Amino acid sequence: MTNHSIQQRLEDTAPLFSIEFFPPKSEKSAEQLLRTAETLRAYSPDFASITYGAGGSTRSRTLKYARSLSEDYGYNVMPHLTCVGHSRDELKGIISEFKEAGLSQIMALRGDPPKGETNFTPHPDGLSYANELVSLIDEVYPECVLGVAGYPEKHPEAQSLELDLLNLRRKVDAGADFVTTQLFFDNRKYFAFVDNCIRAGIAVPVLPGLMSIASRDQAIRFCEMCGTSIPAELDALLLAAGDDKEAVEAVGIEWSYMQARELLEKGAPGIHLYIMNRAEPAIALMDKLQAAGFYK
């Protein structure tokens, strides 16, 4: 397993490879996560991130699986943390727990409103935006490497891409070390976003986030939630694959391969895979990228 710091790896010429897990709720899905973690070790991911659920509901599970991925599987783990439902003091406590567990990087997020709520309402003693969380982590745990979220197609609540970029700049100015993007299927959106970041004075690496589609309905649902577009060409391929699950997966893998190739050829610092705790699409993609010489 690679143990260089994320920062160092983002600056290397060899591209970084990272994956995102979510904390499982049932025993069955826990087994799947651990199986996937075991399998993907063979590809030496530079880091594995693990998400943080709405309303602090996964506080203990995020920490539990972050520890397990680190201690039992040797991953360089980056837990996510959101402001949802937490006071400043609670957040400080969680940051200290991450520190005590030896987790040396955190993805700092505002988070989405809990299920059933449409607007984000900060805790009365809490934080309103991710830039405030970046500042808080920097205060409690200054040596921690910090990732933040970026939106090539704009955050759904932002009035414009320009304002969203100004807000991204606030996170970087507060101390974020790199940006991981929301998933996207059109590389032109990523390249335009990176150019706009540079123009907005955002001088940290922007790691592209990719997801291999396993179901058209699921992809449409995700994309509606996060404001990502599905290119007409991709949608036509998914429609042509119809109900044939394997054919849909093959389209998803081929599309993410095409995206990853172009991103890496044109200088992206690596790829971050939203794997939904599944190993197969990541294996198929990494095998192709290794065969094409992008990864060893």
Ligand X SMILES: Cc1cc2nc3c(=O)[nH]c(=O)nc-3n(C[C@H](O)[C@H](O)[C@H](O)COP(=O)(O)OP(=O)(O)OC[C@H]3O[C@@H](n4cnc5c(N)ncnc54)[C@H](O)[C@@H]3O)c2cc1C
| Catalytic residue numbers, as ranges | 20
Q: Which stretch binds ligand X (CB under 6 A): 38-46, 92-100, 109-117, 138-146?
A: 109-117
Judged by beta carbon, residue 164 or residue 249, the one nearer ligand X is 164
- The amino acid that residue 25 corresponds to is K
In 3D space, the residue among 57, 50, 147, 137 whose CA is nearest the CA of residue 91 turns out to be: 137
Q: Cβ of 190: how many Cβ atoms within 10 Å?
A: 23
Question: Which residues inside 83-102 make contact with ligand X, applying CB under 6 A?
Answer: none
Q: What does DSSP say about strands 178-183 and 206-210: parallel, antiparallel, or unpaired? A: parallel
Residue from 9, 80, 189, 216 binding ligand X (CB under 6 A): 80
Min separation Cβ 59 and ligand X, Å: 12
Tokens representing 278?
């599944």
Q: Which residues contact 223 (CB under 8 A, 6 or more apart)?
A: 229, 230
CB of 15 to ligand X, least distance (A): 18
What's the min distance (Å) between Cβ of 172 and ligand X?
11
Can you point out the beta strands (E) in the chain?
A: 16-21, 47-50, 77-82, 105-109, 145-150, 178-183, 206-210, 270-274
- Residue 145 CB, nearest approach to ligand X (Å): 15
Comparing CB distances to ligand X, the nearer of 23 and 252 is 23
Q: Which residue of 30, 54, 101, 276 would you call a contact of ligand X, by CB under 6 A?
A: 54
By the rule CB under 6 A, 34 interacts with ligand X: no
Query: Taking each helix axis from N to C terminus, what angle separates 59-71 and 27-40, rounded to the nearest 10 degrees?
Result: 30
**Backbone CA torsion sign across 93, 99, 102, 105:** positive
Within 133-192, which residues bind ligand X (CB under 6 A)? 149, 155, 157-158, 163-164, 167, 170-171, 180, 182
CB of 129 to ligand X, least distance (A): 4
CB nearer ligand X, residue 133 or residue 251: 133
The correct pick among 24, 209, 252, 281 for binding ligand X (CB under 6 A) is: 209
Query: Which position among 24, 111, 252, 281 is part of the footprint of ligand X (CB under 6 A)?
Result: 111
The closest alpha carbon to 68, from 113, 115, 36, 107, belongs to: 36
- Here the tokens at position 216 are 């058209």
Contacting positions for ligand X (CB under 6 A): 51-52, 54, 80, 82, 107, 109-112, 129-131, 149, 155, 157-158, 163-164, 167, 170-171, 180, 182, 209
